[in-house]
Amino acid sequence: MKGRGGASAWLLLSLLVIVLDQSTKLLALAKLAPYESRAVIDGLLDWTLAFNTGAAFSFLAAADGWQRWLFAALAVGISCALIVWLTRLPRGDWRNAAPLALIIGGALGNLIDRLRLGHVVDFIDVYWGNSHWPAFNIADSAICVGAVMLIVFGLFAGKAADKRG
């Protein structure tokens, strides 16, 4: 049964993601020099302060600045749509609510950077040998984990219902 506001209590998870994301970015900005790597786990993980004016994998980073507003508008639009979806879910539907909350928190965390700084602050640098994954942040991680959860739970939702029915 849907409670009033549905699963909107899950927005607290979104808020937690935003707080963790913004606090770690502030720490990275205060403690790291741009593009200078600091080893955390030798051969696997560094802290490397980087700035991304584009989207995932620096998509459109070389554009003339208009992409800032495109990605900001997308973050607002997608977050609003996901919030509406979240409020229409039953409060106990954690398999949909948790991933949506993670995506919303991540999108809004990066939106804050775009509006405040004109770029997204990245600082987590994962690599193996000379092969580096593009630098990312807590917000990016929340978006990816949320998206994977939605896909996995979506793929197996019918199978779980079959076992119950």
Q: Is there a contact between 111 and 72 (Cβ–Cβ < 8 Å)?
A: yes
- The residue type found at 133 is W
Residue 18 CA to residue 159 CA, distance in Å, equals 34
Q: In what order do the strands lie in the sheet with 37-41?
A: 37-41, 45-52, 120-128, 131-132
- Name the DSSP class of 148: H
pLDDT at 70: 87
pLDDT at 61: 58
Residue 150 CA to residue 159 CA, distance in Å, equals 15
Q: Please list the active-site residues.
A: 122, 140
Entry pTM: 0.87
Note down pLDDT in tens along the chain; length 165 residues. 445 668 999 999 999 999 999 999 999 999 999 999 999 999 899 999 999 876 665 656 555 667 778 889 999 999 999 999 999 999 889 999 999 999 999 999 999 999 999 999 999 999 998 898 899 999 999 999 999 999 999 998 766 555 555
Q: What are the beta bridge partners of residue 125?
A: 46
pLDDT at 15: 98
